[in-house]
Amino acid sequence: MCFSAEASFIVSGTLLVIGASTIRKTVYSKDFPVALIPLIFAAQQLVEGLLWVTLSHSDTSPIQFWLSNIYGVFIGIIWPLFAPFAVYYAETDNLRKKIIAAIGLAGAGLAIYTAIGLADEPVIAEIIHHSINYKHHVGSYQLIIVLYLLATCVPFIFSSYKHLYLAGIIITTGFFVAYFTYLETFASVWCFFAAVASTLIYFYFIHRVKKPLIPLS
């Protein structure tokens, strides 16, 4: 599996088109945060594509520094906060909402932890084996990675809606594949995979399934 600036730019452009189409299909205000997910991934992949360009030219300018840390903000702050919020806001089942809200608290704690960590030690990016390694010390790494999985993947699995549920299963599978196969470049590989998987959100707006897959209440 090979990644590059071109791959990131292609995914970014594709998600921009899909995201715009998704926004146009949004009828209810409660679905708007979910509809934004492909567009946020589009922005994230654009940042990584630009970072690829600077890294390929051995550019150590402030641009590379800012791109690396903006990507770190996407990974460690935006997604742990936004993923539970978006799914919670769209959900209609009260018990599911309570579970997702509890997960959101873990995501908020993780986002605060990341913000403090980035302020103390900025991210440094480098290319390793055709992927980008984001170097940043994380204390209690195993606990943090579990909380990250909980905040960014599990809310989708608790959704009442079929295509959000399927997206959750796919990104969770990608999470484990990336973690055990691309450990050094896990953040880059998994986010690339999750960005591609976010296209399923478009189908959520085309084929809404209002009945919970597994009744919880």
pLDDT tens-place string over residues 123-144: 888 888 777 888 877 777 788 8
Predicted confidence band at 1 (pLDDT cuts at 50, 70, 90)? very low
Q: Is residue 74 part of a domain?
A: yes
Q: Which two tokens stand for residue 33?
A: 């945060």
Q: Is residue 107 part of a domain?
A: yes
Q: What global pTM score does this model have?
A: 0.87
Q: Is residue 214 part of a domain?
A: no
Return d(Cα 54, Cα 23) in angstroms, integer.
32
Return d(Cα 168, Cα 177) in angstroms, integer.
14
Return d(Cα 51, Cα 63) in angstroms, integer.
8
Lowest mean pLDDT across 41-50, 51-60, 111-120, 165-174: 51-60
Domain count within the chain: 1
**pLDDT (average), residues 147-156:** 93
Q: Is residue 134 part of a domain?
A: yes
Q: Which two tokens stand for residue 117?
A: 């960590």
Predicted confidence band at 58 (pLDDT cuts at 50, 70, 90)? low
Q: Is residue 143 part of a domain?
A: yes
Q: Is residue 19 part of a domain?
A: yes
- Res 60: pLDDT: 67
DSSP 3-state of 217: coil
Dihedral, CA atoms, 210, 211, 216, 217, nearest 10 degrees?
90
Please say if the pLDDT value at position 99 is more than 70: yes
Q: Is residue 131 part of a domain?
A: yes
Domain that holds residue 155: 5-206
Q: Which two tokens stand for residue 101?
A: 């809200």
- Res 59: pLDDT: 59
**pLDDT (average), residues 166-176:** 88
Q: Is residue 144 part of a domain?
A: yes
**pLDDT (average), residues 191-204:** 81
Q: Which two tokens stand for residue 26?
A: 């949004």
